[in-house]
Structure 1
Amino acid sequence: MSNNTFMLWMLYSPLHWIISGMTMVINFTGRKTGKSYRLPVDYRRVGDTLLTTSYKPRTWWRNLRGGAEVTLRLQGKDVKGHAEVIEGEQGVMEGIQAYIERDPSTARLFGIRLGVDGMPDPESLRQAASTRVIVRTTLT
């Protein structure tokens, strides 16, 4: 069983609560193929907005460029949202910073050093942003 298959099984099962606080399923339609995709992704919630990161070389997020309606499996429930991709360095830096503010332990996963004040080191934040995009989903 692949990691994605296992994660999907978990997120749709009664055991979802074990991982659904930071992992959700995003369902979207491929722009070129029209095929339906279902992908487990990590997220951090900021109000009615969900932030997800992806490395630029991955391709799934490209289907969301220009905005797209999505269905999420979020904490055991199916909800609708509108997803947008943020690719510009400043926007990605702001998204990563919001991610870290919600969960400071993720700084290490991004390779970002935190100062004694808990704020991300600007250079390591810039470096992390140069390799990633942010997918921002607003619940509808």
Structure 2
Amino acid sequence: MPTDDATREGGGGRTVEIRTPPEPFFLLERYVANPVLRRLLRSKAHWLVSNRLMLLSYVGRRSGTRYTTPVAYDRREDTLVATTLRHHSNWWKNFREEHPATVWLRGTRRKTTGLATTDTREIAELVRSALVRYGIERARWLGLKIEGDELPTVKELEAVAPELVVVRFSVDDLEPVFQTLHIREEEFSNRFGTEVPS
């Protein structure tokens, strides 16, 4: 849940914007980064990226085709939370209603059910909670650009929430994971899943 100042009025006048990479980035991500990450996340070397990325596999609602894509995630007990740019990815549309999927999480294959939300208040609260837990550096993985070193308020995040989608994946009996807060890591090129057939 957000900290005490999450809903304070006015904030510090911080600017919160969506980070939209140029089109060549998405092409590079789709045809170069994603295939590499798909193999890596299934391999014994998954630990190189699996603290930030999981591999999501599902059958398209309309096409009936199986898709497999790396997505950034945040863990909340038995729920995996994936945040993506609403207009620059399309995999989340398959989860507008509850939809089964498989994830490779830290090298382990698990069955799950995903459900997307576009509620701006809920998204803003989830995003801020992630920033509180991991530090402002996490903003890059969430598709955000934040000016300054202070965390934005929920109200400030609501301004950009319409450009984001959050998908929750429920997984039973996840092993406990002890996470270190405010980890600084290099940003991998793949942050938002783009639908590509397996």
- Give the CA deviation at 1:111: 1.9
* Correspondences of 1:102-113 after superposition (within 5 Å): 102-104=133-135, 105-107=137-139, 110-112=144-146
Counterpart pick for 1:70 among 76, 101, 124: 101
Structure 1 position 121, deviation (Å): 3.2
Alignment of 1:92-111 (within 5 A): 92-104=123-135, 105-107=137-139, 110-111=144-145
Matches within 5 A, 1:1-140: 2-57=32-87, 58-104=89-135, 105-107=137-139, 110-112=144-146, 116=150, 119-140=151-172
Kindly indicate whether the alpha-carbon contact (under 8 Å) linking 2:128 and 2:153 is maintained by their aligned counterparts in 1: no
TM-score (norm 1): 0.88
> Which runs of structure 1 show a deviation greater than 6 angstroms over 4 or more consecutive aligned residues?
none
If the length of structure 2 is used for normalisation, what is the TM-score? 0.64
- Specify the code of the residue in structure 1 equivalent to 2:112: G
How many residues matched?
Answer: 138
Unaligned runs of 5+ in 1: none
Task: Give the superposed CA RMSD.
Answer: 1.9
**Higher RCO (C-alpha 8 Å, min separation 6):** 2
Structure 1 residue 120: deviation in Å?
Answer: 2.2
User: Aligned pair in 2 of structure 1 residues 50, 114: CA closer, same or farther (>3 Å)?
Assistant: farther
CA change 1:114–1:129 in 2 (3 A) is farther
Q: Which moved more, 1:120-129 or 1:49-58?
A: 120-129
Displacement after TM superposition at 1:103 (Å)? 1.4
Structure (1 or 2) with the larger CA radius of gyration: 2
Greater share of residues in strand: 1
Q: Which runs of 5+ in 2 are unaligned?
A: 1-30, 173-198
Alpha-carbon distance, 1:18 to partner: 0.8
